[in-house]
Structure 1
Amino acid sequence: MHERVREHIRVTGVVQGVGFRPFVYTLAGELGLTGFVGNDVHGVFVEVEGPRSEVARFREALSGQAPPLAVVDEVTGTEIEPRGDETFEIALSDSSGKRATLVSADSATCADCLAELRDPADRRYRYPFLNCTNCGPRFTIVTDVPYDRPLTTMAPFGMCADCAAEYHDPANRRFHAQPVCCPACGPRLRLTDSAGTALPDDPLRRTAAALREGGIVAVKGLGGYHLAVDAANSDAAATLRKRKHREEKPFAIMVPDVARARELCEVDEHERALLESRRRPIVLLDRRGDARVAEAVAPGNRQLGVMLPYTPLHHLLLDETGPIVLTSANLSDEPIAYRDADARERLAEIADLFLGHDRGIHMRTDDSVVRSFEGRELPVRRSRGWVPEPVPLRTAPPRAVLACGAELKNTFCVAEGPRAFVSHHIGDLENYETLRSFTEGIEHFQRLFEIEPEVVAHDLHPEYLSTKYAVEREGVDLVGVQHHHAHIASCLADNGERGPALGVAFDGLGFGTDGTIWGGEFLLADLAEFQRLAHLETVPMPGGDRAVKQPWRMALAQLRSCCGAEPPLDLGALRRNESRVPAVLRMCEKGVNAPRTSSAGRLFDAVAAILGLRDTVSYEGQAAIELEQLADRAELGHYPVRLPEPVEVGTAGAAPMSVPSGQLVRAVLDQLRRGEETGVIAARFHNGVAELIARVCDRLRDATGVEVVALSGGVFQNMLLVRRTVDALRRHGFRVLLHSRVPPNDGGISLGQVAVAAERDRRGETSPA
């Protein structure tokens, strides 16, 4: 006779609102077990009774066979006295105590719901808001905790009898699906003109017709409004650019399926998996030469940002159109519009029509953007589909932490226990609307996860709005974290490591501990502290922020640095700006309004300008992106660079080594003078930077004994540079850490700040505000 046992089981993670209880209920029935399952503030609790072998199978299946949206962190079991239950039940939820369970991210429409969407016999046929426990809106509709329908934007929609029956049936996949609805009781589509006047006829078909005719339509999605046009219509795409004031930055494209994606781009198996995943990010893919896409969609770009439909509304719309541009609905530099009245006001001069609905969006959330590298994700923007799922921390902070992030590509992060909740993409904290989104987001996360921060981390730059927000909070201890240390700590935390590592932090600009502008840094770092061992040689940044927007200024500064007092002025970029050249040279010579910087981003800008690609930019990183696009991928040669004679690095008090990156600029100029193809020159520059990184790390390993290199910073969004750098470092025997959970750009800074603040708090190194 089989031994009968009873276990109390605890399941933690994203296990509420994702169909976990009906899954447990069904599983217990299949294995002939009795007991009960319920929700509480910690996750899911189960008591299960039956033969020991079946109870063991049950416990293993809780994580191995969990529903698609569930993320099981831990399953623990304790054997207790059998009770002799005869049935398995779903118990009442226990809402007492401090909430520790998680909210799932918004998820793409599942296969079962898609089948219903296209079944004429189904009551939800062509209904744009159908969902179940395996898909649909989550984070964007939650207004407070616990995650129940009254605390979501579905609260105004009372369930009809049919939906209520599904909601209360443990055997139904809509059991306790909070957004459950149907045409009889749920949200409805509406199509209006730019003045807000409702238009007759079927909203979807009329929208599709408008797109085919070259119109611009504002479409309300999960996390905000998008602007849509026919991706093959050159006039429509150009008009959208003009109205949106987005001169050249690429638009994203939505296509109905992977087959259509492959008509536009090269798609490998990992990229296919990313496209089809429940997260449905924008995936940056290599463009096919014969892709039928308007040039204005991604002018001069070798890649396209492609995504698949992730809501029923998207599926229905693409059933009647070809690929469409689907870009965030905003003017350049503003956050995405998500409230109906605000969208109509802000987009009235852009959109011809508005395809909206009456389900509210509580938290605006942009689409996520990823690349694939060596079969793993390399995030560019972590937002919809990922947030608010936590990033695990190797060691829990002693007290709750809030990290305020950087100024550009801002995210914030709250952490308590072993979990760090990195926010959705906020954007650049340069206008009131974005700052309001930042402060409202922090308040929402604090409520959602019942976290009251006692430690607040911030960047060292005193003028960042995120820094000012931190220092104005009362009753907390502050931790200032140097920008590039935060980058490397972010990479360490992303990989579940504590260091030490040799950190290569290459980005645009960051405030250094010496008051200068850093950006091409070689650090020895762990989660608590860092030492600046080396940096790219510094050059003036004439005009300060103007040099960021006018790369020809950085070209002049670099040429003056590497060629002496009389730089060559016959290059196209300098001839085109010759009236301003003397003044800029004087800035460099006298150091007036020309702060010195070690920035790798500005080095790439300078080379792009020298090669004639870009005198000015219309968006951040444009010159460097175009330099990567130009590079001949087949070119494996590189420019040799001589490092300084061995210097004392890695010892206390030693001055950091200045890395002669200007030699690369001189080599670019010499190759250009000899008439080399610019694509070859661009490739050799990338290869030279990669080899330079490896050789500097080799020198630093001799001084420190550290054989792990962490790569972080926005420059490492350049996939050609990443590929060449990883290869070079591995040839030199290093183990290389890259990002996979948060971006290498400033969107990952907040995670690094949390990791540093937690470690310093553990050591008692925090200070009162």
Structure 2
Amino acid sequence: MGKVSSRIKGRRFVLQGRVQGVGFRPFVARLAARLDLKGWVRNGPEGVELAVWGTPRALSAFSASLISELPPLARLQRLRVRGLSEPPPEGFAIVETRQGPSHTLAPPDVATCQACLSEILDPGDRRFGYPFTNCTDCGPRYTVIEALPYDRPKTSMRSFEMCPECLAEYRDPRSRRFHAEPNACPVCGPQIWLCDARGERIPVADPLAFVVRTLREGALWALKGLGGFHLVCDAQNEAAVRLLRERKRRPKKPLAVMVRDLAAARKIAELTPAEEHWLSSPEAPIVLARKRRPFPLAESVAPGLHLVGLLLPYTPLHHLLLRAWPGLALVMTSGNLSEEPLCYRNEEALSRLSGVADYFLLHDRPIVAPVDDSVLRLCGDRPVLLRRARGFVPEPLSLPRRAPGTLAVGPLLKNTFTVTREDQALMSPHLGDLESLPILRRFEETLTHYRRLFDLPLEQVVCDLHPDYLSTRLAEERAQKEGLRLLKVQHHLAHALSALGESAEEPALALVLDGAGLGEDGLIRGGEIYLVEGPVFRRLGSLSPVPLPGGQAAEREPWRMLLAYLSFFTEEVPEPLRKIPAEKLEVARRVLSRGPLTTGAGRLFEALGCLLSGETVNHYEGELAARLEALAAEGVGERPYQVAPRRERKGVQLPAWEFVREALRDLRAGVPPEEVAARFHRGLAQSLARVLSELSEKTGLRRVVLSGGCFQNALFLEETLSALEKYGLFPVFNSRIPPNDGGLSYGQAVYASLSRASAQRS
């Protein structure tokens, strides 16, 4: 026996990352049993802690399997190992959580797994039809966690005492519900109920049958889901969709639709394998896909666009509703009024949405942290997140260097914030446009929750250069009040750094195209080419500056920008401008010579969208740019517009107005608008790639960063990638971080990380 004992060794592991609430401890227990190891495992403030004793061969196999056989939802970021000299215990045990200041992570919410779905659809199962079924492989996480380490008493499930059967599952390491903290069943868990717009309960034996019947009659519902409320109606009922738009005050912006399964999704959109993969992924985002023609849903779902936003059911409640729904799809859009934050409390929804919804489906599981649906589209097979929220937050992102205690407050529009811990960046979910008091309150509530959840003291705050952004003023006030270091970063540098991420210390060329951001020179910029090296950048080129008649009014009324581009080469008044009252047109002409200047690429896309679609107003941000892409998707793009750059004293400039001249010339010659739009997309991509190729030869840099809201346009992104690759350049673009302003806070945090490192070196 002594000889055998002398071969037994002990090791202690600390694992960090997404390792709590994902079935990690039972996985370790099963692995230890398989390899005949003694020891224990527990949750702790740093992550998962475990100690194992066994032969060197068994310990080696354990270490390898610990990494290669992770549970489906686990993500390992750090692993520390040291030897143990004390004797082993008897057997292997899962022991009580060690409390303390938490350095672990809260996992994101995950779509219902196949095993749980089978249970809720099985009439013989005790969870048949139960809308809150979950296990360690799926279900709510971030939205129910109040504090870490992740244990049931620290979640919104603490008031639901488990019945004997649920408790037995919870305590059984062989069960996939072992320490599934939101574990529940119809006997002991949360319940749903229905009420009308006055909040009075509707007593019905089959709630979902009532929901389906009223939806078929054209009713609008507010449904409390995982991270907040959805507004729901029949997606094939044009009158119901129009009524929803009228009441929600959302006249044109596209609405997402939920379908039962991939088979139904294929009837609505021309899905690629990559789009199908993401639709059915654990993250279950809204995926933008090309509409089938004829489009089988109400045209008002996504008017004037070639894309439709689809999502599959991601909670048991959604699955049960869609299984009962006899139609093809349901509109499933955010439960709020335009310009307001998402509703997530019952009382709040009844108050704010009573003028929108006819009926409410409520439940009694509190939502701790509200979170909207994520939105994603594909560039070829490569994902581009347009809105980072449910399924992705609060998954950490890496930084180039340590930057503990940083708050990056993000932009004005599509606001998110980012807080940092060591070399990790934790982005908030999408919050909305920071232009109203309710959104500002949601910002502060979410920040307070993040700081408490992740134990985050603050040392510095980072913001945009623009002095009028509410986020900038918020950062300045917080810095003064709390004695924090204040950093300001130029808008487009933050865009570039958001795409470079942890590799931002390496120099690169950057092409940043968006609508507007304040330049360090005071110009309203948005079509920029930089040399970026860490926190330092130098402008090498841009689109040529053009007047911005009416300032911000030009964003709402793109006809103003069309007029500005036309002023460079003609006094002709094309069809869209004939819709504008003569006196209004004349006022806009007069301010062309004294108005501010812009290099914004987004304004160019919108001006051409105005010219080709005949529409003159953006009902939502970037509407006419989206309509331009929809036209281009139907064209071929032969003979793309080739515009030569001009060498100016301050760098290369690409005269943007020449694209408008070429488009107008083609329209006069009878070229269809679809082909004009395609020629513009391909021509702009090729013209910019040619400039970048020349700059690459001068600088010796082959890596090119692409960022900014214009790269939400997958057609333009694909054309740009193709053109750059033909020149032998290596493009890098936003994928896990939105290319639009929703990714700016992460870019600001990267800047803070690099600035801190530079300050320490100096």
Structure-2-length-normalised TM-score = 0.96
Superposed CA offset, 1:434-480 (max 9, x none): 11111111111111111112011100011111111111112110110
Of the candidates 724, 729, 747, which is equivalent to residue 752 of structure 1? 747
Aligned partner of 1:380 in structure 2 is 386
Unpaired segments of 5 or more residues in structure 2? none
Report whether the alignment pairs 1:762 with 2:757: yes
Which one of 261, 271, 274 corresponds to residue 270 of structure 1?
274
CA distance in 2, matches of 1:340, 1:760: 44
Cα drift, residue 390 of structure 1: 0.4
- AA aligned to 2:701 is V
Judge conservation of contact 1:613–1:626 (CA < 8 Å) in 2. no
1:400-433 CA-partner distances (Å, limit 9, x unpaired): 2110000000010011212110110011001111
User: Residue 457 of structure 2 aligns to a residue in which SS?
Assistant: coil
Do the aligned partners of residues 72 and 618 (structure 1) sit closer, same or farther apart at CA in structure 2, a change above 3 Å counting? same
What letter is aligned with 1:480?
K
Counterpart contact for 2:574–2:611, Cα < 8 Å? no
> Which of 46, 51, 60 is 1:47 aligned to?
51
The residue type equivalent to 2:445 in the other structure is E
Which residue, 308, 313, 320 being the options, matches 1:316?
320
User: Equivalent residue for 1:140?
Assistant: 143
Alignment of 1:280-359 (within 5 A): 280-321=284-325, 322=327, 323-359=329-365
- Contact conserved, 1:400 with 1:455, CA < 8 A, in 2? yes
Q: How far has the Cα of 1:674 moved from its partner? A: 1.5
CA contact (8 A) 2:637 2:675 kept: yes
The equivalent residue for 1:651 is: none
Residue identity in the other structure for 1:215: A
SS across alignment from 2:336? coil
1:551 and 2:552 are equivalent in the alignment: no
Q: What's 1:174 paired with?
A: 177
Amino acid at match of 2:666: Q
Q: 1:383 to 1:642 in 2, by over 3 A?
A: same
Cα distance in 2 between the residues matched to 1:291 and 1:258: 17
Q: How many residues were matched structurally?
A: 751
5 Å-filtered alignment, 1:72-471, equals 72-81=76-85, 83-96=87-100, 98-201=101-204, 202-321=206-325, 322=327, 323-397=329-403, 399-471=404-476
Cα distance in structure 2, aligned partners of 1:337 and 1:527: 40
Q: Does residue 710 of the first structure (1) align with residue 720 of the second (2)?
A: no
TM-superposed CA distance for 1:300, in Å, is 2.3
Please give the alpha-carbon distance, in whole angstroms, between the structure 2 residues aligned to 1:394 and 1:570. Answer: 50
SS of the equivalent of 1:345 reads helix
Matches within 5 A, 1:529-548: 529-548=536-555
- Check whether the contact 1:192–1:199 (CA below 8 A) recurs between aligned residues: yes
Deviation of 1:572 after TM superposition, in Å, equals: 3.0
- Match of 1:520? 527
Deviation at 1:185, TM superposition (A): 1.4
Contact 2:546 2:597 in 1 (8 A): yes
Residue 390 of structure 2 contacts residue 429 of structure 2 at CA under 8 Å; is this kept in 1? yes
Cα distance between partner residues in 1 of 2:285 and 2:44: 32
* Cα distance, 1:330 vs structure 2: 1.2
Superimposed CA distance per residue, residues 550-572 of structure 1 (whole angstroms, 9 cap, x where no aligned partner): 01111001111343xxx212433
SS of the residue corresponding to residue 646 of structure 2 reads: coil
Q: What secondary structure, in the 3-state scheme, does the structure 1 residue paired with 2:200 have?
A: coil
Contact 1:492 1:737 in 2 (8 A): yes
Q: Which runs of 5+ in 1 are unaligned?
A: 648-653
User: Which residue is equivalent to 1:604?
Assistant: 605
- In the alignment, what sits opposite 2:492? 484
What CA distance in whole angstroms lies between the structure 2 residues aligned with 1:659 and 1:562?
Answer: 16
1:57 lines up with 2:41 in the alignment? no
Alignment deviations for residues 178-220 of structure 1 (CA, whole Å, 9 cap, x no partner): 2111111111101001011100112212111111222111110
Q: Which residue of 2 aligns with 1:12?
A: 16
Whole-angstrom distance in 2 between the partners of 1:89 and 1:570: 77
SS for the counterpart of 1:235 is helix
Is 1:408–1:428's contact at 8 Å kept on the other side of the alignment? yes
CA distance in 1, matches of 2:672, 2:143: 49
Match of 1:561 in 2: 568
Cα displacement (A) at 1:329 = 1.1
Specify the SS of the correspondent of 1:141. coil
- The answer to whether the 8 Å contact 2:529/2:539 transfers is yes
In structure 1, what is the Cα distance between the partners aligned to 2:43 and 2:222? 39
Identity of aligned residues (%): 44
Alignment equivalent of 2:642, drawn from 624, 640, 646: 640
- In 2, are the aligned partners of 1:556 and 1:574 still within 8 Å (CA)? no
Contact residue 642 and residue 684 of structure 2 kept, 8 A: no
Of residues 267-276 and 417-426 in structure 1, the stretch that sits farther from structure 2 once superposed is 267-276
3-state SS of paired residue (1:763):
helix
Q: Which amino acid aligns with 1:151?
A: K
CA distance in 1, matches of 2:372, 2:505: 31
Deviation of 1:163 (Å): 1.9
Greater displacement, 115-124 / 347-356? 115-124
Aligned to 2:513, what secondary structure does the other structure show? Answer: strand
> Is 2:37 the partner of 1:37?
no
Q: Conserved in 1, the CA contact under 8 Å of 2:399 and 2:753? A: no
The residue type paired with residue 651 of structure 2 is P
Q: Distance in 2 between matches of 1:500 and 1:247?
A: 44
Distance 2:63 2:400 in 1: 25
**In structure 2, what is the Cα distance between the partners aligned to 1:276 and 1:570?**
46
State the alpha-carbon separation in 2 of the partners of residues 530 and 642 from structure 1. 25
Return the match for 2:583 from 579, 582, 605. 579
Give the aligned residue type for 1:343.
Answer: A
In the alignment, is the contact (CA less than 8 A) between 1:760 and 1:766 conserved in 2? no
| Structure 1 CA distance for aligned equivalents of residues 761 and 435 of structure 2 | 29
Q: Find the counterpart in structure 2 of residue 719 from structure 1.
A: 714
Look up the equivalent residue of 2:99 and give its one-letter code: S
Q: Distance in 1 between matches of 2:68 and 2:41?
A: 18
| Mapped contact 2:106–2:142 kept (Cα < 8 A) | yes
Q: Distance in 1 between matches of 2:617 and 2:45?
A: 54
Contact 2:507 2:531 in 1 (8 A): yes
Which whole-Å CA distance do the structure 1 matches of 2:533 and 2:418 have between them? 19
Rounded to whole Å, the distance in 1 between the matches of 2:159 and 2:614 is: 54
Do the aligned partners of 1:192 and 1:198 also contact (CA within 8 Å) in 2? Answer: yes
| Structure 1: distance between partners of 2:420 and 2:752 | 10
Residue identity in the other structure for 2:156: T
Between stretches 383-392 and 59-68, larger displacement belongs to 59-68
Aligned residue for 1:666? 661
Asked if the contact 2:10–2:88 (Cα under 8 Å) also holds between the matched residues in 1, the reply is: no
User: Which amino acid counterpart does residue 192 of structure 2 have in structure 1?
Assistant: L
Q: For residue 363 of structure 1, give the secondary structure of its aligned residue in structure 2.
A: coil
Give the counterpart letter for 2:113 in structure 1: C
Question: 1:497 Cα shift?
Answer: 4.1
Shift of 1:104: 0.3
Asked whether the equivalents of residues 559 and 576 of structure 2 are also in contact (C-alpha less than 8 Å), the reply is no
Distance verdict in 2 for CA 1:598–1:296, change over 3 Å:
same
* CA–CA distance in structure 2, aligned partners of residues 743 and 613 of structure 1: 30
